[in-house]
Amino acid sequence: MRESERSTYSVLFEPVNIGPVTAPNRFYQVPHCTGMGYRFPRTEAKLRGMKAEGGWGVVSTQETEIHASSDLTPANEGRLWDERDIPALRLMTEAVHEHGSLAAIQLVHNGLHSTNRYSREIPIAPSAAIVDQNDPVQAREMSVSDINTFKQWHRDAALRAKSAGFDIVYVYAGHDMSLLQHFLLQRHNHRSDQYGGSFTNRLRLFKEVIAETRDAVGDTCAVAVRLAVDELLGEEGLQHDGEARDIIEALAEEPDLWDVNLSDWSNDSQTSRFSEEGYQERYTSFVKSVTTKPVVGVGRYTSPDTMLRLVKSGHLDFIGAARPSIADPFLPKKIEEGRVEDIRECIGCNICITGDNTNVPMRCTQNPAVGEEWRRDWHPEYIRKLKAPEDYLVIGGGPSGLEAARALVQRGAQVILAEASEQWGGRVTLESQLPGLAVWSRVRDWRLHQLQQQANAQLYLQSPLTAEDVLSYQIPNVVLATGSSWRRDGVGRANRRPIAQLVPERVLTPDDLMKQGVDAIKHEGPVAVFDDDRFYLASVLAEQLVIAGYDVIYVTPSPIAAAWTEQTLEQERIQKRLIDLNVKLLLSHNVASMSDDSLSVSCTYTGRVTELSVATLVLVTSRTSNDTLWQDLSAKQEHWKAAGINRVDRIGDCYSPGLIATAVQAGFAYAQNVDATEAPLVRREDISLL
């Protein structure tokens, strides 16, 4: 069957010419941020090299600043201001070339998207305008002399990219983050000279830069154009059936490759809660009809059958990916080797994006090794065998326990995995049953599948264990992954001590709603959801309640709904959905007290109290670890040796509640380090020299 699969998908492994270079296959890791960039070049290079090892035929950088007037500090993007940046980028090209893949660089000047906090250069733009960050900074209008200078900057950066070993050099006009895109857009370009006004004039600079880039490096490097074909802004922005199409028709044969997507970033990288696989297809389907050059596009593709359809139908020449290549750097090799069932599919949660948005190396819910390839020498597919395999008892079948068991089995251990409930997955299973989160079940399903293939893994459901049980089994290594529970007392960010006046029988937690559904609600009347967690869950529960017919009031101490989802690019969509669902939003308010039929909330700024008619209060605040078994075993520690127990460890939420990604990485880290004689030393680039 595997040989048949290889034959089925063989078209995906055909070489494709891109101008003067040839990609070994149709798998194309498009430019994406990592939170590493110029500050962490070794970490960056190792991550990109891992994708080449995994079979991605083209591997790209993130956006790479070409000049100090495009300074995105504190973001850790790429940087190619001058020759001093070449060695760091060469680390990446060498890592990619080692595995026979092409290296691409996305050159960018961010125009009015740059605040230049480090360089302190005055931002530049087609027309004078305030920058689109929150800084009280304005960009000055570029003169024709400035435009010529910018063209020289871009040309010089392209030459430096060639010197660094890149095979593909981008001319970038996407995500509303590019000076070149700003010149194209009427909302940003108010000029009346040869670079403004008419479509031809607004297109002029883009066309000139493509030509000059080709003239500078086109003898050995392919020139790619990345263009947003729709901004989902109607007539105010680029539209796939309007000026975006006109741009591609006018420049159809100018670049060697078209990389097409949506703008801005929140549209391009929509989460699975708000979009399905292939959601960009309706916007990009026209491109191949107006150019003979190869086209790459994205859509959070993880299905080989979908990839095959896109190529065979003539929609795309390359399957572009950012997030799927993070979740599984070895996705192409698994398809090529007939191991489709082993693909670690992206869940579209956008935890990876939070790395760039918080200026730290990225992480991934599905792939615990991402960002740690250089720092901890972790590999997403391979893990060294245990020096002396022993037996392990992993208690808890949630994300942390599943990952710990899977990785321990891969290392050669004999593992018993015991789960107290009737289903695997822990919080992943519960949350994946909520509106929009079904794809998250992939976290559970992939790990279960891997475990079920192995003879050295024994899996038991409905197996609650006591300390006496654990001692009686005489298994030398015990891992507690028993998860956590949401608090009922209101303790969180805004309330560091329990809220004094609550009515316990009218208070629910997310656990109640996830386990019992709306049957957990025992009193008729409006439901208030208090969000002091400030991530996604409270808004999802509010949606669940509205769907069930309840009037919902969403209360949060934050000035916006689901505040931390700004980091996952979801916040605006979440707040809009709540408004569309007629959820009453009470922002910047804290819970003060409660009675049988009302809830008192206080303004976080003035302290002014408002009385709400509320029958049930759902507290989404913080969690406590389910560590009763740990406490019981700790109390019997003097009996461990006699029971043959060498160690008992807590991992994941049982140790400290956090993200699902944190729990998965905790399981992986435990398995990686279980036989280490001392705590592994994490490499640091800030104390090392290139």
pLDDT tens profile 156-167? 999 999 999 999
Q: Does residue 202 sit within a domain?
A: yes
The total number of structural domains in the chain stands at 3
State both tokens at 655.
């140790």
Q: Last residue of some domain: 308, 339, 357?
A: 357
Report pLDDT for 7. Answer: 81
Q: Do residues 105 and 213 share a domain? A: yes
Nearest to 661 by CA among 400, 361, 378, 314: 400
Q: What is the pTM of this model?
A: 0.96
- Per residue in 567-577, pLDDT (tens digit) is 999 999 999 99
Output the domain CATH number for residue 348. 3.20.20.70
- Per residue in 240-297, pLDDT (tens digit) is 999 999 999 999 999 999 999 999 999 999 999 999 999 999 999 999 999 999 999 9
Q: Do residues 474 and 543 share a domain? A: no
Q: Last residue of some domain: 311, 335, 357?
A: 357
Mean pLDDT within 470-478: 97
Q: Do residues 27 and 159 share a domain? A: yes
Report pLDDT for 690. Answer: 52
Residue 222's identity, in one-letter code, is A
Mean pLDDT within 544-570: 98
Which residues contact residue 152 at a Cβ distance below 8 angstroms, ignoring those fewer than 6 apart? none
Q: Do residues 129 and 202 share a domain? A: yes
Q: Does residue 688 sit within a domain?
A: no
Q: Do residues 563 and 637 share a domain? A: no
Tokens 């309330």 label which residue?
Answer: 495
Domain range for 602: 487-622
Q: Do residues 265 and 414 share a domain? A: no
- Per residue in 56-101, pLDDT (tens digit) is 999 999 999 999 999 999 999 999 999 999 999 999 999 999 999 9
Q: Does residue 680 sit within a domain?
A: no
Q: Does residue 370 sit within a domain?
A: no
Report pLDDT for 1. Answer: 40
Nearest to 297 by CA among 260, 345, 350, 349: 260
- Residue 459 three-state SS: strand
Q: Do residues 418 and 493 share a domain? A: no
- Per residue in 307-364, pLDDT (tens digit) is 999 999 999 999 999 999 999 999 999 999 999 999 999 999 999 999 999 999 999 9
Q: Do residues 217 and 137 share a domain? A: yes
Give residue 678's pLDDT band: very low, low, confident or very high (50, 70, 90).
confident
Q: What is the mean pLDDT of the chain?
A: 96
Output the domain CATH number for residue 648. 3.40.50.720
Cβ–Cβ < 8 Å for 574, 562? yes
Q: Is the pLDDT of residue 5 over 70?
A: no
- Per residue in 499-549, pLDDT (tens digit) is 999 999 999 999 999 999 999 999 999 999 999 999 999 999 999 999 999
Q: Do residues 64 and 98 share a domain? A: yes
Q: What is the DSSP letter of 395?
A: E
Q: Which residues are catalytic?
A: 33, 172, 175, 268
Which residues contact residue 595 at a Cβ distance below 8 angstroms, ignoring those fewer than 6 apart? 503
What is the rounded CA–CA span in Å between residue 494 and residue 255? 53
Q: Do residues 398 and 525 share a domain? A: no
Report pLDDT for 314. Answer: 96
Q: CA of 352: how far to CAs of 64, 358, 362, 421, in Å? A: 19, 11, 5, 30
Q: Does residue 384 sit within a domain?
A: no
- Of all residues in the chain, what percent carry a pLDDT higher than 90? 96
Strand partners, 617: 507, 528
Q: Does residue 238 sit within a domain?
A: yes
Mean pLDDT within 651-662: 98
Q: Do residues 553 and 513 share a domain? A: yes
Output the domain CATH number for residue 575. 3.50.50.60
Q: Does residue 117 sit within a domain?
A: yes
Q: Does residue 443 sit within a domain?
A: yes
Q: Do residues 583 and 646 share a domain? A: no
Report pLDDT for 686. Answer: 82
Cβ–Cβ < 8 Å for 524, 613? no
Report pLDDT for 681. Answer: 84
Helix ranges restricted to H, 417-536: 427-432, 442-452, 467-473, 510-516
